[in-house]
Amino acid sequence: MSGALLILYLARVSEAIESLEVRLRLLLERALSRAGRCIFLTGAGISAESGIPTFRGSEGYWRVGSRNYHPQELATRAAFDRMPDAVWSWYLHRRRICAEAQPNRGHVAVTDAATQLGERFLLITQNVDGLHGRAGALAERMYEIHGNISFMRCSVRCEGLLPVPAAAWADPSQPPSTGELRALLRCSTCGALMRPHVLWFDEHYDEESYRFESSLRAAADAALLVVVGTAGTTNLPLRIGELAARSGTPLVIIDPEPSPFSALAAGGQGIFLQGLAGFWLPELARQLRALTRQV
């Protein structure tokens, strides 16, 4: 490409971004004039920018004996009942990856938006990595609808969550023996093996562990829905998007690729910002900051 053509191309890209920024501002103005909460729905795409492999990517495979298992085979209650040590080893490996990752610009921008919106803010995240919390998101304004890999609960339903002991995952060069690991992961109430506090593929959403009904109620009355980095392949996130769209809620969809959510936005009450969360979320937070100061 010649220098002149490159300059023309960059000018057109800049004009397109400016046009989207204007449309975003108008949409946010409309949203802030409505009653209800401003919901941010986030998925694996926002954490991919922190180096965490997406769950369905090739990086998720795990070898047990002579066989490679896909995450969708390991992340089930059936697999846990059949080979609990292997399933726990995989989750402890993923826990180390999450611990080594750092919140990125997208996570920080979501926290910035929460500061501007105050009690009107609600974060609904599919991510189990805990990066939103480490970026400053408040637990009382966050629904972790797929759980959190840093916690565990009894596999036979004793109540309560406990942190996964650091001794179980922190030092891969000196992992505990199977006996030591099982001792660390025993329920102190009934003696059963604990399980990761995550939603498995052969399980259903519920209110107690995954805020199912609360999420749907919030979506039905939302003033704004911002969807970031999720393909809409699981039931609850897609229902949240459909409920919000049906109610005429302004939608902001941020993703590198089109999705069922971008199709909802194309229905007339939303905008699809095609690109990375780390680019668009800081811009959205900046505009929210300017608009809330005007109120």
What the block records as the tokens of 142 is 């966050």
- Alpha-carbon span 107 to 49, nearest angstrom: 10
Residue in the structure block whose two tokens are 């809409």: 232
The answer to whether 162 touches 107, Cβ cutoff 8 Å, is: no
Residue identified by tokens 């990517």 is: 57
Positive/negative CA dihedral, 243, 244, 246, 251: negative
Closest CA to 25 of 283, 197, 208, 216: 283
- For residues 45, 122, 280 and 59, what is the CA-based torsion angle, rounded to 10 degrees? -10
Beta bridge partners of 63: 68
Residues 249/223, Cβ–Cβ less than 8 Å: yes
146 is catalytic: yes
Residues 6+ apart with CB under 8 A from 4: none
Q: Which of 107, 132, 146, 197 is catalytic?
A: 146
Is residue 251 classed as helix, strand or coil in its secondary structure? strand
- Catalytic residues, which ones? 146
